[in-house]
Amino acid sequence: MKFLPFVRLLLICLLLSGCNENVVYKAHENIEDGLWYINNKPSFKVEITDTVSAYNMYYVLRNAFQYPYYNLYLTRNVIGPDNKQISNTLEEVYLSNEVSGKPYGHGLGDLFDHKIPFQKNYRFRKAGIYTFTLSQSMRQNPLPFIMSVGICVEKVKTE
């Protein structure tokens, strides 16, 4: 009986989060022991069948409150269906406010989830499987308190 309020809250959260019909792909890879080594490069294979629609793409990251930096440098490598490199991009993303240290994202306890856009209104030129590979490009190896990394691809909503 003590857990009944918790179960109700969990069910409400699940119902509210629901399925987003615009999500084409969403996956993450857990980082073992929260230590992201430079040679650990999670890859995500996204099948694109619709080349007419535009897509928004996001990093999905989870870090612990103890993460020692306000930012994170990521390298994103994208390989197209023809096995040719489309891009190899170094990006800086912000996980907390540089001055106050207040974490961005949504938190539960000391964990914070982030959904950070990296591409808006993108149109894939060819149908097929695209491989997105992420690597950390910070000066610290391993990078502590990064719990998981991934991507989300969504079709842009049309009115």
Strands annotated E in 81-159? 85-94, 106-108, 111-122, 128-136, 143-144, 146-155
More confident residue, 12 or 144: 144
In single-letter form, the type of residue at position 154 comes to E
Report which DSSP code applies to 127. -
Domain boundaries, the chain: 23-155
Task: Sort residue 139 into left (φ over 0), alpha (ψ -120 to 50) or beta.
Answer: alpha
For the ranges 7-11, 20-24, 27-31, 104-108, the lowest mean pLDDT is seen at 7-11
Instruction: Enter the CATH code of domain 23-155.
Output: 2.60.120
| 2 band by pLDDT with thresholds 50, 70 and 90 | low
| 108 band by pLDDT with thresholds 50, 70 and 90 | confident
Alpha carbon distance 6, 11 (integer Å):
9
pLDDT at 19: 53
pLDDT at 21: 82
Is residue 14 scored above 50 in pLDDT? no
Is residue 86 scored above 50 in pLDDT? yes
The whole-model pTM stands at 0.85
| 18 band by pLDDT with thresholds 50, 70 and 90 | very low
